[in-house]
Amino acid sequence: MAAPQKFLDFIDSNVPKLIDRLAEAVAIPSISGDASRRQDVYKMGSWLEAQLNKFGVKTEAIPLGQEHIEGQVLELPPAIVGRIGEDPKKKTILIYGHFDVQPANVSDGWNTDPFKMHFDKESGRMYGRGTTDDKGPIMGWLNVLEAHHNLGIELPVNMRFCFEGMEESGSEGLDEFIGTEAKKGNDGWFGGVDCVCISDNYWLNDRTPALTYGLRGLTYFNVLVSGPGADLHSGIFGGAVYEPMTALIALMGKLVTQDGQILIPGVYDGIKPAASDELEIYEKLDYSVQDLEASAGGKIAISDDKSTVLMARMRNPSLSLHGIEGAFSGVGAKTVIPATVGGKFSLRLVPPQQPDDIRAKVETYLQAEFAKLNTKCTMKIEYLHGGIPWVADHRHWNYQAAKNATEAVYLRSPDFTREGGSIPVTLTFAENLGVNVLLLPMGRGDDGAHSTNEKLDLSNYIQGTKLLGSYLYEVASITSKA
């Protein structure tokens, strides 16, 4: 059962309206990591709730408690949950998305205001923070709902929605809500859910749709080194005191080699090398080292071999150094010895790595390396957050429906990929609901999520909306035959 033509036609004939919808969402700077923007996260949630209601979805704003951020106690933005369709003969699909975004400032190097969506007609690209991560996909669902509502067509499945406003800040509060509701079984918000669909990742390249069945996990650390009581002048104190920055840089330099080898003992324990049939998957993917370098914007691939690069991203752990808090980070030449500096780094994890185990290994290693420095500075390790790696069964009907929908809309088979990033909620749903979870990306590999000049191609937005709608029909079709 393919999607009805009038649904597809509705999307094609309402393109300007759908663009406006995304622009409206982008214009609300719902940055969850910035306390001063918290009101905008609330606002974004209310805006989304109103849209859902308009298209017949019953919603509820779920309070998720409080958090401590930048010395303030703040209410967490509520999760917006919704339901439409109660037909016991239909499958019930749970949709997840997040309406918060990463920070963005023009001064970071944006060509246009990140919170005023810029549609470049020549390239067909829509630039703005959240266009691809994750407001574009959420708008895709709204577009599907609007089409059915306006056309008066019944949806082929029952739908449940769970949209959150804290994904970019560790999904605070959501896990507990999902866990609590899941325990209520059929009486809970997720009662009767047959599978989950999440659109919050990207194609491997800029031409081939993808379905994603694996994610790397994450452990994020802040290693703090302290010495003086306050920042010191390097003229007055340089040479006479132990300097926290020197110690921190030494520690950070012992974590990973330039070619990506992680130096923490035991960190690779249990990770199996790829067998020949697994290697074959990577060789078959529509991908090249040039694709990687194009999306990275530089000739910096770790290898000239496609499979090596793909495995580095999909099935091997990695360690990145993100920056330093408390050191001099401005322009110019400040002659400061910073008093306390925090080195931020994180590891991407793959099965069977577990965050708690990796955390223990990192801490043991840092303690040992710090002791070797023989310094009078002191060290403290903060564990900022963690997420388990995940791999799903891609032979499940949920994936087959998405494959069929992709073939119907894009006239080609999707790449089956594993993703390098972590979307911890994937695991929360998989574990709590015990159902198959599908990652169905809308955007391309070069969209620049979390980066400057984040964009979504109009074709991905429009075809992506059709894909989301078609997926629902393919689910209905494949499960009625089964």
Residue 291 as a binder of Zn ion (CB under 5 A): the answer is: no
* Site membership for a second copy, residue 137 (CB under 8 A): no
- Contact between 446 and Zn ion by CB under 5 A: the answer reads no
Neighbouring CB atoms inside 10 A of 185's CB total: 10
Residue among 13, 72, 335, 459 that touches a second copy (CB under 8 A):
335
- Taking the C-alpha atoms of residue 263 and residue 54, their distance in angstroms, rounded to an integer, is 54
Selecting among 67, 167, 168, 291, the annotated active-site residue is 167
Q: Is 321 in the site for a second copy (CB under 8 A)?
A: yes
Residue 299's identity, in one-letter code, is K
Under the binding rule (CB under 8 A), the answer on residue 243 touching a second copy is yes
Per CB under 8 A, the list member of 162, 324, 467, 468 interacting with a second copy is: 324
CA distances 465 to 14, 20, 133, 338, Å, are 12, 15, 15, 50
Closest distance of CB 110 from a second copy, Å: 10
If you search the block for the tokens 């090596």, which residue do you land on? 308
Nearest to 100, CA basis, from 174, 159, 178, 50: 174
CB of 322 to Zn ion, least distance (A): 14
Determine which residue in the list 233, 284, 380, 412 makes contact with a second copy, applying CB under 8 A. 233
Residue 134 touching Zn ion (CB under 5 A):
yes
Report if residue 100 touches Zn ion, rule: CB under 5 A: no
Binding segment toward Zn ion, per CB under 5 A, in 29-37, 128-136, 321-329, 409-417: 128-136
Q: Does 322 bind a second copy (CB under 8 A)?
A: yes
From candidates 46, 288, 354, 375, binder to a second copy by CB under 8 A:
375
Catalytic residue status for 100? yes
Tell me if residue 167 is catalytic: yes
Closer to a second copy by Cβ: residue 383 or 416: 383
**Nearest C-alpha neighbor of 78 from the set 174, 176, 154:** 174
The pairing of beta strand 415-419 with beta strand 210-215: parallel
The sign of the CA dihedral 275, 280, 281, 283 is positive
**The entry of Zn ion, a second copy, none that residue 200 binds, CB within 5 to 8 Å by partner kind:** Zn ion
Q: How far is CA 372 from CA 249, 254, 365, in A?
A: 14, 12, 11
Q: Is 286 exposed, middle or buried (0-12, 13-18, 19+ CB in 10 A)?
A: middle
Which residue, 134 or 181, has its beta carbon nearer to Zn ion?
Answer: 134
Q: Does 77 bind a second copy (CB under 8 A)?
A: no
Tell me which residue has tokens 């691939």: 301
The residue among 159, 180, 169, 135 whose CA lies nearest residue 45 is 135
From the CA atom positions of the chain, what is the Rg in Å?
A: 23
- Binding to a second copy by residue 2, rule CB under 8 A? no
Among 130, 170, 389, 443, binds a second copy (CB under 8 A): 170
Select the binding partner of residue 134 from a second copy, Zn ion, none (C-beta < 5 to 8 A, by kind): Zn ion
- Burial level of 231, CB count in 10 A (0-12/13-18/19+)? middle
* Residue from 50, 296, 368, 391 in contact with a second copy (CB under 8 A): 296
Residue numbers 5-64 binding a second copy by CB under 8 A: 33
386: number of Cβ within 10 Å: 21
**Residue 362 in contact with a second copy, rule: CB under 8 A:** no
Of the candidate spans 85-93, 134-142, 154-162, 348-356, the one that interacts with Zn ion by CB under 5 A turns out to be 134-142
Binding-residue pattern over the window 193 to 232 for a second copy, x denoting contact by CB under 8 A: ---------x-------------x-x-x-x---xxxxxxx
Piece in contact with Zn ion (CB under 5 A), picked from 193-201, 325-333, 346-354, 378-386: 193-201
Q: How far is the CB of 309 from Zn ion (least distance, A)?
A: 22
The torsion of the CA quartet 396, 397, 399, 402, rounded to 10 degrees, works out to: 180
Per annotation, catalytic residue among 40, 49, 67, 100: 100
- Return the one option of Zn ion, a second copy, none that residue 15 interacts with (CB less than 5 to 8 A, by type): none
For position 447 contacting Zn ion by CB under 5 A, the verdict is no
351 near a second copy, judged by CB under 8 A:
no
395 contact partners, CB below 8 Å, separation of at least 6? none
Find, among 204, 210, 213, 188, the residue nearest to 94 by Cα: 188
- Give the three-state DSSP class for 138: helix
Give least dist CB 134 to Zn ion, A: 4
Residue whose CB is less far from a second copy, 92 or 453:
453
Single-letter code of the amino acid located at 339: A
Q: Give me the helix-helix angle, 276-284 and 306-314, nearest 10°.
A: 100
Check: CB of residue 412 under 8 Å from CB of residue 208.
yes
Number of residues that bind a second copy (CB under 8 A): 101
Give bridge partners of residue 69 from the DSSP assignment. 72
Per CB under 5 A, does 419 bind Zn ion? no
Shortest spacing between CB 279 and a second copy, in angstroms: 16
Q: Please report, as residue ranges, which positions from 316 to 335 form the binding site for Zn ion (by CB under 5 A).
A: none
Beta carbon nearer to a second copy, 49 or 369 = 369
The Cα 169–Cα 102 span in angstroms is: 9
CA dist 99 and 44 (Å) reads 7
Distance CA 14, CA 117 (A): 18
Query: Least CB distance from residue 449 to a second copy, whole Å?
Result: 6
Which residues carry out catalysis? 100, 167
Query: Can you give the binding site for Zn ion, defined by CB under 5 A?
Result: 133-134, 200
